[in-house]
Amino acid sequence: MSRYDLAGRTVVITGSTGGLGSAVADALQRRGAHLALLGRDESALAAQADMLGGPRTAWAAHADVTDLLSLRSAIDRAADHFGRIDIVVANAGVNVVAPTATLDPDAFERVVDVNLTGVWRTFKAALPHIERQRGYLLAISSMAAFVHSPLQGPYTASKAGVWAMCNSIRLEVRHLGVDVGTLHPTFLKTPMMDAIHADPAGRRLWSGNERGLWRMCTVDKAVRSIVSGIERRAQTITAHRAHAIVAAAPGFFRPFVDRVGFTTRTITEASAASSPSGGPPPTSSTVSCEPEEQEGKAVRLSEGEPARRAP
């Protein structure tokens, strides 16, 4: 496959001021890409955009991946600014380290909302623009999608969910010329990892990530893998060759199932027949009436009971 030239293409990056996001933005800017930098810290975004060349090459906007309207507004304005959106890197993410017995439910829900649903919202908002350019969607997952550690239930669930969701979305959009990929980095020297090492639970769990299975990978190496993966419009991106084997194992039979089990005709017809709610359309048997609307109408009280007139 020929290399997907990044020069002149517009890339949307969520969480762009984070450790990995900022490194990816730097590398893509050096490849000649235009950058739409999205995040919640407006002052950090403005500084990042200035450092990367200002409005002609780097444009920044506030956006919250937990808010679909916020994402749509920012991505639409980015498309207006640059005239196109070619690539999306859904990078925003958070983490917690705690066992289920003591973890705050709000913390669990936030991790899933940002890491998993946030990717879905980002892709949802960007897809109309990506379709026009027959572009590429990339979600930042993790090796945690395949290797499930203790004390990280919401994180591993969200990252495995990102991987599975992107495999589904890829089937939905392949006939449109859109490609979808997932990145599966391991431990990186970023502010997120610093926070884990500052937490006694995280420090004990990973032993500082200094050696063995859990040793740290350099951000530079991860970024090289990301840029190369985008240029290949890859389905799965890892930083280490050994990790590629682990990542490939769960999906060994997936290409066969994708082609044989889900034909393009099946997918397009099912998509056309779907409703926005993702379920069957309401019928007269499932629509209820408020008491004041029931006068003169037949009302079924329960399954098998004859209809009667409302008093």
Tell me which residues are annotated as active site.
155
Whether 216 contacts 209, CB under 8 Å: yes
Nearest to 15 by CA among 69, 62, 83, 73: 62
Partners of 39 in the beta sheet? Answer: 62
Burial class of residue 56, CB neighbours in 10 A (0-12, 13-18, 19+) = exposed
Please spell the DSSP secondary structure of 81-106, one letter per residue. HHS---EEEE---------TTT--HH
> In terms of DSSP bridges, do strands 236-238 and 179-184 run parallel, antiparallel, or are they unpaired?
parallel
Taking the CA atoms of 258, 183, 48 and 97 in sequence, report the sign of the dihedral they define: positive
Say whether 19 sits in a helix, a strand or coil: helix
Instruction: Evaluate whether 28 touches 86 at the Cβ level (below 8 Å).
Output: no
Rounded to the nearest angstrom, the gap between the alpha carbon of residue 45 and the centroid of all alpha carbons in its chain is 20
